[in-house]
């Protein structure tokens, strides 16, 4: 749980939070979602878990960007990407939920 707090607070640094937790850490979630049937309850459960993970990581990217001492461009781009990451995760959840509801009608 301490690692989650560190990531959320941006204490892991911008590069590590973005590349390790954001990019590499998202791959297993995305692979699992790709391999699961989209209309299954399990895929929605995994998507909810991924949404929670994405929220923590993207908040961490935002916080790390706020304390980043390098070029301002990287901090601004990181904040833009963190907002887009949360929006994308919510859209994926909505699409999967619609597919699940539509398949049960």
Domain boundaries, the chain: 2-103
Angle at 63 between CA 57 and CA 64, to 5 degrees: 85
Instruction: Look up the pTM and report it.
Output: 0.87
Q: What is the pLDDT of residue 10?
A: 95
Per-residue pLDDT averaged across 60-85, rounded?
96
Q: What is the pLDDT of residue 103?
A: 67
Q: What is the pLDDT of residue 71?
A: 96
Tokens 């390790």 belong to 20
Phi, psi at residue 32, to the nearest 5°? -60, -45
Contact 75, 65 (CB under 8 A): yes
What percent of the chain has pLDDT above 90?
63
* Contacts of residue 46, Cβ cutoff 8 Å, sequence gap at least 6: 29, 32, 33, 36
Band of pLDDT at residue 64, cut at 50, 70 and 90: very high
């Amino acid at each position: 749980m301490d690692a989650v707090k560190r990531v959320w607070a941006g204490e892991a640094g911008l590069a590590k939070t973005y590349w390790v937790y954001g990019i590499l850490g998202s791959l297993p979630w995305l692979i699992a979602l790709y391999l699961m049937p989209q209309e299954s309850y399990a895929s929605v459960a995994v998507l909810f878990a991924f949404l929670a993970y994405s929220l923590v990581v993207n908040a961490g990217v935002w916080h790390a960007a706020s304390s980043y001492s390098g070029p301002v461009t990287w901090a601004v781009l990181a904040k833009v990407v963190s907002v887009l990451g949360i929006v994308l995760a919510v859209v994926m959840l909505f699409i999967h939920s619609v597919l699940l509801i539509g398949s049960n009608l």
